[in-house]
Structure 1
Amino acid sequence: MDSKKTVLIVEDEKNIVDILRFNLQREGFGTLEAYDGEAGLELARSARPDLILLDVMLPKMIGFDVCKALRESGDNVPVIILTAREEEADKVLGLEIGADDYITKPFSMRELIARVRANIRRTAMVASASQEDATPVAGDLTIHTDSCQVYRRGRHIDLTQREYELLTFLASHPNKVYSRVDLMEQVWNYGYVGDDARTVDVTVRRLREKIEDNPATPVYILTRRGLGYYFSTAQ
């Protein structure tokens, strides 16, 4: 990394904060800490960290509400949700309100550091790509890479950062089928997958709900049964 990146840890268990701080600083990151949701949101807005590790069950304001508040104000800082709960609904909710990733406690520090690096690297890649002026067009869908905005029939479509990245990746390789493992590696920048491939399905579903007239019969993001997803140019 060219300059030190800062990670904001929002977690009410001091022992977990201490462990995260020690390991992140050992890996060259700067750290900030908050022990409740309200303080975390205030610090996120004032300090502008490069990434947030955000616990779900927090005093004063739960993690989901912190993430939602950031996204509603237009802040696209990468957010990794930390949750001790295994329920699928929690993971889906985190993604739907704009979190970039989730990791379930207990987690290995090696895995967490890898995810932190991947999400920060992805953000840097998007910032670099946003300097390009190319505007890929398919059917009545227009992607403005200079402003990272998507329009359909001239109407702006509000996508999360991850939804935008998935769409632009698939659209830049039209009609090429990518498995969930491929997409986790190419879009999420993960060299391992496991159960997290479910994240791809959730993101595709959310993307279809926003860009398709009928998400049940999509024309842009299509499924090749047993193989994966692809962006169709045959509208």
Structure 2
Amino acid sequence: MDDLYFCQEQRLVCVDKQVIKLTAKEFDILTLLITHPKRVFTYELIMELVWNEDYSYYSRKAVNNHVSNLRSKLKVTQDSPDYIKSVVGVGYKFEVP
């Protein structure tokens, strides 16, 4: 994880020494995943823990959209690894390649 810098206290994320501007939800999703590496979080659990609301008001598409934006922001170069892995039909996990 040499090229990824994450500081929860400063709400700061850098990739290859570039500061990555994240929305509050994107940062919170990344925090959830990065602080529990390799643990698979379901869409529903991400909704519950990040939105702090009943997930029935939202769709999986809301989680997918935020994760998609987060992935594209973290991929600063063609060679940048994909840190957030999809677990088909279940949710997402953070993994250092």
What TM-score results when the alignment is normalised by the length of structure 1?
A: 0.38
> 2 CA distance for matches of 1:196 and 1:225?
16
State the SS of the aligned residue for 1:202.
helix
Contact 2:39 / 2:93 at 8 angstroms: preserved in 1?
A: yes
1:221 to 60, 68, 84: 84
1:163 to 1, 26, 35: 26
* Aligned counterpart, 1:192: 55
- How far the C-alpha of 1:179 sits from its partner, in A, is 1.1
> 1 CA distance for matches of 2:30 and 2:87?
16
Q: CA RMSD in A?
A: 1.9
Structure 1 residue ranges without an equivalent (≥5)? 1-137
Q: Does 2:12 correspond to 1:145?
A: no
Contact 2:4 / 2:14 at 8 angstroms: preserved in 1?
A: yes
Match of 2:29, as an amino acid? L
State the SS of the aligned residue for 1:193.
helix
Q: Does 2:45 correspond to 1:182?
A: yes
Instruction: Give identity over the alignment, percent.
Output: 33
> 1 CA distance for matches of 2:30 and 2:56?
20
- How far the C-alpha of 1:196 sits from its partner, in A, is 2.5
Q: Which moved more, 1:190-199 or 1:177-186?
A: 190-199
Equivalenced residue count is 95
State the SS of the aligned residue for 1:199.
helix
Structure 2 residue ranges without an equivalent (≥5)? none
Contact 2:85 / 2:92 at 8 angstroms: preserved in 1?
A: yes
- How far the C-alpha of 1:139 sits from its partner, in A, is 4.1
Flag as ranges the 4+ runs of structure 1 deviating above 4 A: none
Match of 1:209, as an amino acid? S
Larger Rg: 1
State the SS of the aligned residue for 2:5.
strand
Match of 2:88, as an amino acid? R
> 1 CA distance for matches of 2:67 and 2:19?
19
State the SS of the aligned residue for 1:173.
coil
Contact 2:71 / 2:82 at 8 angstroms: preserved in 1?
A: no
Match of 1:227, as an amino acid? V
Superposition map of 1:75-94 within 5 A: none
- How far the C-alpha of 1:204 sits from its partner, in A, is 0.3
